[in-house]
Structure 1
């Protein structure tokens, strides 16, 4: 593992936002797209970088891929856990957290999310 590459992976705002959401719960690409208001290509590119650096894990369920924090890596490197713990203090992450709560309260499933205007 190359710590320099891990730190580089943390240098983009959208990747920080993704990690902030994934520290709270496992999410699929379409959920991340909606909550972060990014397109599929953008979300996939950032997820790919995070996965390449082992910051996140993925799991396929039917046609959806779900992502989660790689707890082992964050436990192994305390400075990464400290960064993760500080994300709640960022304004943009606070807004994302509110949208995540709104999504959770909506009762919508991943399949229904793309048809709904929950965040628009």
Structure 2
């Protein structure tokens, strides 16, 4: 692990917003798009940066990729992970994202339904 790369990856607000969401659940790109109101290309770019630094990982299921915080990242960086979770929990932008996450989960919209509504995956 390259600690400089990890901090560079985490120094972007959008990547921290994605990290915050993935600390709660395993999510597909379309979920992150909807919750954070970001474009697919923007979400994918940020996910690739987090993935390249070993912060997140993904699992393919059919045509969808589901992202989560890498268990090894948590284990190897427990203090950093705990600090981020406790700090982001109280920041207004992340509180808003958490509320949007809850609304999105309650809506039960699947990736297939999201795409049918005219959004790109």
Please confirm whether the aligned pair reaches a TM-score higher than 0.5, indicating the same fold: yes
Show CA shifts across 1:9-57 (max 9, x none): 0000000000000000000001101111110110000000000001001
Q: Which runs of 5+ in 2 are unaligned?
A: none
Q: Distance in 1 between matches of 2:94 and 2:9?
A: 17
SS in structure 2 opposite 1:89?
coil
- Runs (4+) of structure 1 exceeding 3 A deviation are none
Q: Distance in 1 between matches of 2:61 and 2:9?
A: 26
Counterpart in 2 of 1:90?
Answer: 91
Between stretches 101-110 and 2-11, larger displacement belongs to 101-110
- Alignment: residue pair count: 117
- Root-mean-square deviation (CA, aligned residues, Å) is 1.5
Alignment of 1:1-120 (within 5 A): 1-81=1-81, 82-114=83-115, 115=117
Q: Which runs of 5+ in 1 are unaligned?
A: none
